[in-house]
Amino acid sequence: MPRILSRPFYARATLTVARELLGCVLARRVDGRDTLRARIVEVEAYVGEEDKACHARAGRTPRTDVMYGPPGIAYIYLTYGMHYMLNAVTEPDGCPAAVLIRAAEPLEGIERMRRARGTDDDRLLAAGPARLTQALRLDLRQNRADLRGPLLWIEEGEPVADRDVAQSPRVGCQTAPPPWDRIPWRFYVAESRFVTPGTRGLAAPTTGPAARKTRGGNRAAHRR
């Protein structure tokens, strides 16, 4: 039996939780019988009111209230009037922070995910935060759900080695004031083909002439 991540796992520093969530298995029970499972390959950390890209920058409001509560709870919100995003609340009770689950590799219940997404391209079933919630049939009704089940949970997985993890600035945060627009708090499995398409070029924020070559090289280097 796979072990379900416990509350203390989420109660730690958000960057640590984000990094360690890579390789873990996101699971979802639908229609009271079917189980959907997918391996997490891309996440982002959002940490506190100081983090000007984090929703908690506006303080405690009806929407962000859940981030101020106990860890190990789902924070799901609607964005662009049509897309849902899944986060795992982190840090001890009272600290507003969360990890956005951005992409995953489908493992089980793939046929149901195809139906939910309306596509047969398995690579795109959960490659992006909104695609992921659509594949797993998540919406506002699962906001504040306990991540230890029974509707939604995350299992321990095969750990991802440091050499296989890449970092980059967070996607879609370009309008946040510095340094929050560039801080490399996105973590992903470098060689996975299930990360959000078109976000690989964002690679580590190294600067200078040498970094330029690396950037183009990263894309061709990892293929599968």
Partner DNA sequence: GGATCGATCGGCT
Partner DNA sequence: GCCGATCGATCCG
Binding residues for DNA (CB under 7 A): 44, 46, 53-55, 58, 61-64, 75, 77-83, 85, 87, 98, 100, 117, 119, 124, 128-132, 170-173, 175, 196, 198, 201
What's the half-sphere exposure (Cβ side, CA atoms, 13 Å) at 83? 11
Closer CB to DNA, residue 5 or residue 86? 86
- Could you please report the per-residue DSSP string of 76-121? EEEETTTEEEEEEE-SSTT--EEEEEEEEEEEE-HHHHHHHHT---
| C-alpha–C-alpha distance, residues 147 and 81, integer Å | 25
Closer CB to DNA, residue 159 or residue 204? 204
Closest to 151 (Cα-Cα) out of 63, 224, 86, 102:
86
Q: How far is the CB of 100 from DNA (least distance, A)?
A: 3
Q: How far is the CB of 218 from DNA (least distance, A)?
A: 11
| C-alpha–C-alpha distance, residues 37 and 30, integer Å | 11
Q: How far is the CB of 99 from DNA (least distance, A)?
A: 8
Closer CB to DNA, residue 163 or residue 223? 223
Closer CB to DNA, residue 23 or residue 199? 199
Secondary element (H or E) of residue 25: strand 25-30
Compute CA 115 distance to the chain's CA centroid, rounded to the nearest angstrom: 22
Q: How far is the CB of 57 from DNA (least distance, A)?
A: 8
Does residue 124 sit in helix, strand or coil?
helix
Does residue 21 sit in helix, strand or coil?
helix
Closer CB to DNA, residue 37 or residue 131? 131
Q: How far is the CB of 24 from DNA (least distance, A)?
A: 17
Q: How far is the CB of 163 from DNA (least distance, A)?
A: 24
Does residue 74 sit in helix, strand or coil?
strand
Closer CB to DNA, residue 44 or residue 105? 44
